[in-house]
Amino acid sequence: MESEIITYINCLNLDETLKKQYDQIIEFDSRYVIPAVRYNTALFLKWITNLKKPSLVLEIGFGSGVSSIFINHGNSAIKIISLERDKNRFLRGKNLLHEMKIENIELLNMDAFDYFTTNNISYDMIFLDSVKREYKDYLVPVKKILNKNGLLICDNILFNGKVIDKCLDKKYFNGVELLKEFNTIASNDLELDTFFIPIDDGILVSIKK
């Protein structure tokens, strides 16, 4: 029954125009196979941005570009700064944004922790989609630059179900334990009002108090 309900909801969420754009972003410059947020997660990012209407957004991990482009969808008045430390993903992203004529997403080729050392900007919304085992390390610096009532959104907090896997492959053990620790810390952080949403691979949404 649960899987049938999910299928039913997914059909209701399906927007052919947005799905086509989603596929075009992923397929752009197919020399690079880059992980992307899943379709319903992209829709959620678009929806929550339309609801919250942030003026300034920081994305940690541009990746394929799906997330920042869907955050930007219908919100061209906002400014998005996206960090991508992988050079090939950065160059592909620059070409993608140029091809799509998107000017309000500023893509930077740099590590987020380097960015934190020089940044003096505070943000209304931060989307974290980087290396999962590093999530815990991001929490303190991210809170410092998040405005009051600002949103912190983290993707992949279920790690493809590995956070509850009873027969976990040893190569994933350390990363999974660190991610589970992050989830616990974030859920108990008194500076944050945190909610976990079981969309796709799991999303954490926190409001800074």
Contact 13, 42 (CB under 8 A): no
Among 130-134, 164-168, 181-185, 203-207, which is the least confidently predicted range? 164-168
Among 4-13, 62-71, 122-131, 181-190, which is the least confidently predicted range? 4-13
Contact 58, 116 (CB under 8 A): no
Nearest-5° angle of CA 82, CA 104, CA 134?
10
Name the token pair of 208: 């800074």
| DSSP letters for 70-123 | HHHTT-TTSEEEEE---HHHHHHHHHHHHHTT--SEEEE-S-HHHHHHH----E
Question: Is residue 52 helix, strand or coil?
Answer: helix
For tokens 């492959």, name the residue: 169
CA atoms within 13 A on the CB side of 34: 29
Q: What percent of the chain has pLDDT over 90?
A: 81
Query: Which carries the bigger pLDDT value, residue 153 or residue 161?
Result: 153
Contact 66, 42 (CB under 8 A): yes
- Looking at residue 2, its pLDDT comes to 64
Per-residue pLDDT tens digits for 20-72: 999 999 999 888 889 899 999 999 999 999 999 999 999 999 999 999 999 99
Total number of domains in the chain: 1
**pLDDT tops 70 at residue 1:** no
CATH number at residue 40: 3.40.50.150
Mean of pLDDT values over 106-113: 97
What is the extent of the structural domain holding 59?
Answer: 2-208
Mean of pLDDT values over 171-195: 95
Q: For the chain, give the mean pLDDT.
A: 94
Residues 127, 70: Cα–Cα separation, whole Å: 12
pTM of model > 0.85: yes
Mean of pLDDT values over 101-115: 96
Secondary structure letter of residue 200 according to DSSP: T
CA 49 to the chain's CA centroid? 12
